[in-house]
């Protein structure tokens, strides 16, 4: 059984601790790292051989997994497979490889704390399998505006920058509790929060349920919104689910909203499937991105380099 499977379901910090422990015990021999200073000569080892033709993915329902299947087709990467797990398992695998300067290819996205922690680069995607600039949208169930007009207004106003989300993600990654990191950000950004809530009446304990997936970016946004809505008088429940159930929950009304709709490409299949059964409440962040990500020390720059 792989480390990833054994520790499935643990938090990111625990995963990283285990990743470190595993590194310490590692007694494998020298490996070709696929780095620029490779001087082995003779036949060049392809990047595929170095990583066993494996792309380290995340949870199967994530849009980036569908995009990666598309990339495998678009670039004829017949020998390649994408492993599935979770965002936390992916970052643990990345850390483990990075600490040993071993090659690894992960499904990655921005904003994400991994870019603050490691020197990483996106592989160029000339076929556009991963789309271009994406946006994060908030979506609500049909009827939200009538039932919870104040929350509908706040969620529609919600928008912030990559820098905001990054600060929270990095704090959580460094061991801060999710709600504490979110509260600290709110305390330091009262003006920004006021733009979402100004002129909106407080409520008296109305219940609202937000669904989200345990992607680091969405952990940050949902923890902030929970506290903001609570401050406005709501009784907020956050439910953590997989991507498919998250979209389904908003579409069937069992959740009121999510801040985790990445569009136009990442969640295109979900948006089309549930077209008419949700309301797009608007964009909370522009210029976000998904793709294949590798450590800077790897000697490849494009998804096309995986064809060799
Ligand atoms: N992500 C983070 C998600 C959307 C947010 C890029 C991992 C996905 O691929 O569905």
User: Could you tell me the pLDDT band of residue 161, with boundaries at 50, 70 and 90?
Assistant: very high
- Virtual torsion, Cα 84, 88, 91, 95, nearest 10 deg: -120
Alpha-carbon span 169 to 185, nearest angstrom? 11
Gap from CA of 69 to ligand 1 centroid (Å): 14
Cα-to-chain-centroid distance, residue 266: 11
- Residue 28 vs residue 161, higher pLDDT: 161
Annotated domain spans of the chain: 3-132+291-307, 136-287
> Does position 167 have pLDDT exceeding 90, yes or no?
yes
In contact, 81 and 105? CB cutoff 8 Å: no
Confidence (pLDDT) at 218: 98
Determine the CATH number of domain 3-132+291-307: 3.40.190.100
Ligand 1 binding pocket mutation candidate from 122, 219, 266 (most atoms within 8 A of CB): 266
Confidence (pLDDT) at 35: 52
Gap from CA of 126 to ligand 1 centroid (Å): 20
Buried b (16+ CB within 10 A) or exposed e, 175-184: eeebeebbbe
- The number of the ligand 1 atom at minimal distance from the alpha carbon of 107 is 7
Gap from CA of 301 to ligand 1 centroid (Å): 22
> Does position 36 have pLDDT exceeding 70, yes or no?
no
pLDDT digits over 239-261, tens only? 999 999 999 999 999 999 999 99
Alpha-carbon span 248 to 278, nearest angstrom? 10
- Whether the bond into 285 is cis, omega within 30 of 0: no
In contact, 253 and 274? CB cutoff 8 Å: no
Q: How many CB atoms within 10 Å of residue 82?
A: 20
> Does position 237 have pLDDT exceeding 90, yes or no?
yes
Flag the least confident range among 32-46, 84-98, 184-198.
32-46
- The number of the ligand 1 atom at minimal distance from the alpha carbon of 62 is 10
- Residue 286 vs residue 31, higher pLDDT: 286
Confidence (pLDDT) at 42: 56
- Whether the bond into 15 is cis, omega within 30 of 0: no
Confidence (pLDDT) at 55: 98
Alpha-carbon span 156 to 200, nearest angstrom? 12
The CATH class of 136-287 is alpha beta
Structure tokens at 244: 């498919």
Confidence (pLDDT) at 44: 79
In contact, 69 and 82? CB cutoff 8 Å: yes
Ligand 1 binding pocket mutation candidate from 61, 62, 112, 162 (most atoms within 8 A of CB): 62
Gap from CA of 80 to ligand 1 centroid (Å): 21
The secondary structure of residue 100, as a DSSP letter, is: T
């Amino acid at each position: 059984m792989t480390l990833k499977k054994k520790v499935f379901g643990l938090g990111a910090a625990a995963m990283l601790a285990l990743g470190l422990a595993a590194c310490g015990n590692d007694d494998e021999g020298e490996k070709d790292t696929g780095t620029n200073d490779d001087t082995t000569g003779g036949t060049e080892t392809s990047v595929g051989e170095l990583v066993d033709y494996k792309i380290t993915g995340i949870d199967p329902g994530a849009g980036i997994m569908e995009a990666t299947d598309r990339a495998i087709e678009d670039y004829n990467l017949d020998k390649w497979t994408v492993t599935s797990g979770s965002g936390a398992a992916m970052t643990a695998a990345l850390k483990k490889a990075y600490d040993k300067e071993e090659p690894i290819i992960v499904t990655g996205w921005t904003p994400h704390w991994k870019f603050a922690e490691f020197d990483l680069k996106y592989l160029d995607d000339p076929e556009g399998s991963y789309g271009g600039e994406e946006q994060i949208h908030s979506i609500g169930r049909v009827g939200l505006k009538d039932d919870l007009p104040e929350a509908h207004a706040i969620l529609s106003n919600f928008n912030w920058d990559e820098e905001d989300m990054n600060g929270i993600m990095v704090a959580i990654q460094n061991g801060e509790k999710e709600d504490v990191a979110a509260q600290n950000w709110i305390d330091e950004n009262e003006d920004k929060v006021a733009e979402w809530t100004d002129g909106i009446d407080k409520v008296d304990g109305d219940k609202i349920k937000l669904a989200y997936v345990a992607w680091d970016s969405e952990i940050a946004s949902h923890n902030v919104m929970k506290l903001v809505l609570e401050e406005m008088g709501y009784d907020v429940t956050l439910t953590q689910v997989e991507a498919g159930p998250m979209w389904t929950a908003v579409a069937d009304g069992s959740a009121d909203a999510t801040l985790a709709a990445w569009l136009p490409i990442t969640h295109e299949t979900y948006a089309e499937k549930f077209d008419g059964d949700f309301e797009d409440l608007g964009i909370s962040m522009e210029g976000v991105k998904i793709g294949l990500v590798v450590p800077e020390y790897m000697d490849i720059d494009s998804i096309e380099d995986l064809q060799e």
